[in-house]
């Protein structure tokens, strides 16, 4: 696998992205399950990164592509690693604190933060469509979380967990800009490799303070979680080689179906009313942003009012 542009294969890209959504939703379920077993968040992230590093190195060795990880932008990879590992703490923290469907729905706000970041840090001009999508999306978040100042009284949604989930989504959007910048000069597998290689020793520092013996069942959950994370990363990279991000990202919303099913069958948690009202608004807003990004990309030569 190299950094060349693959021939567009939209149906394959959509299928792979659907599988990605299911794999990452399964990983989130296993994260929550491991947390319920008493595994510390820092330990979970260490095993996730360590096993991913082993998988990536093994695959690159088998394919004879280890040379593709060479880089002249180690500082950029280090910054991405720091933001990425911080983001993982917030993403996994939200999964542990919130019911899976609510945590998943809140994670869909990442595109809204991307719009705001593009304005604040890159001076991009954003018009009524995308600003409208941001407002619509956060209205959906308010319906899901039902904060007290709106008279809400949700037993399911922890306000601290909701805040952590929103911070996680903001960090995910910020990381997407870093990865986009790295993609200009780095091959995809180089980005994946350096993220795992740099964060594994970083998370190892915490292990003496958080590690505790586990049962065989708990170890199986931890290993399965890490393998799902590695597989999800591989599938994610593959999907972006064969299809437009603006189109295939829409498949990510199917993870809400997985999360709802896992929440009900594994954790005996029925989705709150707010989820059914808020999730369609968040998803609709995300679709609007994706549609507008695609339309603007097609009309670069002839700018239109945004």
Residues 124-143: tens digit of each pLDDT? 666 777 777 777 777 777 77
First to last CA, the chain: 38
Four-point Cα dihedral 127, 128, 134, 135, nearest 10:
140
Per-residue model confidence (pLDDT) at position 10: 64
Domain assignment of residue 194, given as a range:
10-298
| pLDDT value, residue 150 | 47
Contact present, 254 and 221 (Cβ < 8 Å): no
Give a yes or no: residue 4 inside a domain.
Answer: no
* C-alpha gyration radius of the chain: 19
With 0-12 / 13-18 / 19 or more C-beta atoms within 10 angstroms meaning exposed / middle / buried, residue 181 is: middle
> Which distant-in-sequence residues (6+ apart) come within 8 Å of 40 by Cβ?
210, 211, 212
Q: What is the torsion angle, in degrees rounded to the nearest 10, for the CA atoms of residue 183, residue 126, residue 175 and residue 226?
A: -100
Overall number of domains in the chain = 1
Q: How many CA atoms lie within 13 Å of 300's alpha carbon, on the beta-carbon side?
A: 4
pLDDT under 70 in the chain at which residues? Answer: 1-10, 122-126, 146-156, 240-250, 290-306
Q: Which of 186, 201, 198 lies closest to 72, judged by CA?
A: 186
Q: Tell whether 306 is covered by a domain.
A: no
DSSP state letters, 217-270: HHHHHHHHHHHHHHHHHHHHHHHHHHS-HHHHGGGGGGHHHHHHHHHHHTS--P
Residue 293 has a pLDDT of 67
How many other C-beta atoms are found inside a 10 Å radius of the C-beta of residue 235?
A: 19
85 within some domain:
yes
Taking residue 62's Cβ as centre, other Cβ atoms within 10 Å add up to 9
| Gap between the Cα atoms of 230 and 236, Å rounded | 10
3 in a domain, yes or no? no
Residues 192, 284: Cα–Cα separation, whole Å: 30
- Quick check: is 304 in a domain? no
| 305 within a domain of the structure (yes/no) | no
Structure tokens at 37: 């077993």
Enter the pTM of the model: 0.80
Residue 207 host element (H or E): helix 207-210
Asked whether residue 181 is domain-assigned, the answer is: yes
171-218 pLDDT, tens digit each = 988 887 787 788 778 877 788 889 999 999 999 999 999 998 999 999
DSSP state of 83: H
Assess if residue 81 is contained within a domain: yes
pLDDT value of position 260: 87
């Amino acid at each position: 696998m190299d950094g060349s542009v693959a021939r567009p294969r939209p149906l394959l890209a959509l299928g792979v992205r659907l599988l990605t959504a299911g794999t990452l939703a399964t990983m989130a379920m296993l994260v929550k399950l491991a947390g319920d077993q008493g595994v510390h968040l820092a330990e979970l992230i260490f095993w996730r990164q360590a096993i991913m590093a082993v998988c990536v190195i093994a695959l690159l060795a088998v394919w004879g592509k280890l040379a593709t990880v060479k880089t002249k932008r180690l500082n950029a990879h280090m910054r991405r690693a720091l933001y990425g590992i911080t983001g993982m703490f917030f993403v996994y923290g939200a999964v542990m604190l919130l019911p899976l469907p609510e945590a998943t729905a809140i994670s869909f706000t990442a595109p809204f933060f991307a719009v705001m970041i593009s304005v604040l840090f890159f001076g991009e001009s954003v018009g009524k469509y995308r600003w409208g999508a941001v407002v619509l999306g956060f209205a959906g978040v308010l319906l899901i979380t039902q904060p007290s100042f709106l008279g809400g009284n949700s037993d399911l949604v922890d306000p601290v967990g909701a805040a952590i989930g929103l911070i996680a989504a903001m960090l995910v959007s910020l990381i997407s800009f870093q990865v986009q910048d790295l993609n200009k000069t780095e091959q995809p597998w180089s980005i994946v490799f350096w993220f795992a290689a740099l964060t594994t020793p970083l998370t190892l520092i915490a292990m003496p303070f958080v590690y505790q013996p586990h049962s065989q069942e708990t170890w199986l959950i931890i290993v399965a979680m890490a393998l799902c994370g590695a597989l999800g990363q591989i599938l994610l990279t593959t999907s972006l080689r064969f299809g437009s991000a603006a189109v295939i990202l829409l498949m990510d919303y199917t993870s809400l179906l997985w999360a709802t099913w896992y929440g009900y069958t594994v954790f005996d948690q029925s989705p709150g009313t707010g989820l059914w009202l808020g999730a369609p608004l968040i998803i609709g807003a995300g679709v609007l942003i994706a549609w507008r990004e695609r339309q603007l990309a097609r009309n670069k030569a002839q700018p239109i009012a945004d």
